Amino acid sequence: MVQVYYAASSFGSQNSAIFLAASTTGAVGSWSNYGLVTSSSTSNNYNAIDPNLIIDGSNWYLAFGSWWTGIKQIKISSSTGKPSSTSVTALAQRSSTSLGIEAAAMYKYGSYWYLFTSWDVCCQGTSSTYNIRVGRSTSVTGGFVDKSGVALTSGGGTLVLSTHDAIYGPGGQDVYDDGDGPILVYRKRDAFILVYYILNGIPSLDYYTSSGSWLGINRLDFSSGWPVVA
């Protein structure tokens, strides 16, 4: 069974919800909607978008959240794909609700779970200030700290990737395993469009003279214990 968690919201509001869809094949037209997973409103101090499913053995968790009080986590039943508890755990938060943090993506390397988040503002073209931050913990359910030991729930977050050269506002990231090792994927905005690809194991670059948001792909090096863009 292929499962997808997706979100619906009005931009910049807490009137948001996360839903579940599933398919036995993943083919177009084969998907069934399994309904609401969790939601938020102005009565909550968080925003229920950007779902990220984490599987730790037989335990399932869903990380989510955007702005307000940051990144949250709920326990998910592996049999239903729906919450198995009403408890909401805080994973990461900025020092003010007016500071952006969203797009949780969790990845395990060695004995650590790494929580990647996007900070600041996306979707503003070359004025975007999006950047990717990370913290780590030996537990999937919390205790994440950055490289300086600052808790992510107290505003911590080690910078992984930010605006550089002609690349503006990298964020909305995910991390996965590939034949080349850990891979970071993200969206970005370019003054000159830079498309990353790997040819025979060698990162290569192509430039195009157009504008828009594009996909960035980079290897991650964890040899120091902290992810570094390779």
Q: Work out the burial of residue 142: count CB atoms within 10 Å of its CB; fewer than 13 is exposed, 13-18 middle, 19 or more buried.
A: middle
What pLDDT digit, counting tens, does each position of 9-67 carry?
A: 988 899 999 999 999 999 999 999 999 999 999 999 999 999 999 999 999 999 999 99
* CA pair distance 85, 196, nearest whole angstrom: 41
Q: Which two tokens stand for residue 70?
A: 């940051």
Neighbours of 20 (CB within 10 A): 21
Distance of CA 182 to the CA centre of its chain: 15
pLDDT digit string (tens) for 88-122?
999 999 999 889 999 999 999 999 999 999 999 98
Question: Distance (Å, rounded) from C-alpha 17 to C-alpha 6?
Answer: 8
Q: How confident is the model at residue 212 (pLDDT cuts 50, 70, 90)?
A: low
Domain residue spans in the chain? Answer: 1-87
* Alpha-carbon distances of 191 from 95, 121, 197, 203, 204, rounded to whole Å: 31, 17, 18, 20, 18
